[in-house]
Amino acid sequence: MALSLEQKKAVVAEVALVAQSAHSAVAAEYRGITVEKMTEMRAKARSEGVYLKVAKNTLVKRAVEGTEFECMAEELTGPLLFAFSIEDPGAAARLIKDFAKNDDKLVVRLVAMGATLYQASEIERLAKMPTRDQAISMLMGVMKAPIEKLARTLAEPHAKLVRTVAAVRDSKQAA
């Protein structure tokens, strides 16, 4: 069923709004995917902060104009499923990669992040990016390490004295 002009404008406005605030985008060919798999993918996408949309390529080309995903416009061909990471830069890549691993009909075509279009094989690198919470915990670990080392260094002379006194005590008791 063909979309009316108003419906097309609504789709363009919706995708443009998402594309302006998204961190990364993945486009995958979905030909042959069952409705059950697609429904499952959409449910998982909602829970992970990923915006999924199946739309005409011409509408998506208009929607991404003026955003950092404009680099994808030239490569949009065939039936594509568009996934935009809203909260976490690697969320869309993880979602598409996980579903593509279980279903060979889902084929990654485009990967974009930071106004750069990457090869489809780069989805692995994007999917391995840490989540926001993981990145914060890694940063906290790096920030905490020097303080812990200083505390251990300051405590060591006292600990060495205690071990020396205990060794002298043990040697006197043994004699």
Domain at 26, CATH number: 3.30.70.1730
Please give the pLDDT value at position 1.
Answer: 62
- Residue 142 lies in domain: 130-175
Name the pTM for this structure: 0.74
CB 100 within 8 A of CB 112: no
pLDDT per residue over 128-142, tens digit each? 888 888 889 989 989
Assess whether 169 and 119 both reside in one domain: no
pLDDT per residue over 67-101, tens digit each? 898 888 888 888 999 999 988 888 999 999 999 88
pLDDT per residue over 152-168, tens digit each? 888 888 888 888 999 99
Assess whether 26 and 47 both reside in one domain: yes
* 174 confidence band (pLDDT: 50, 70, 90): confident
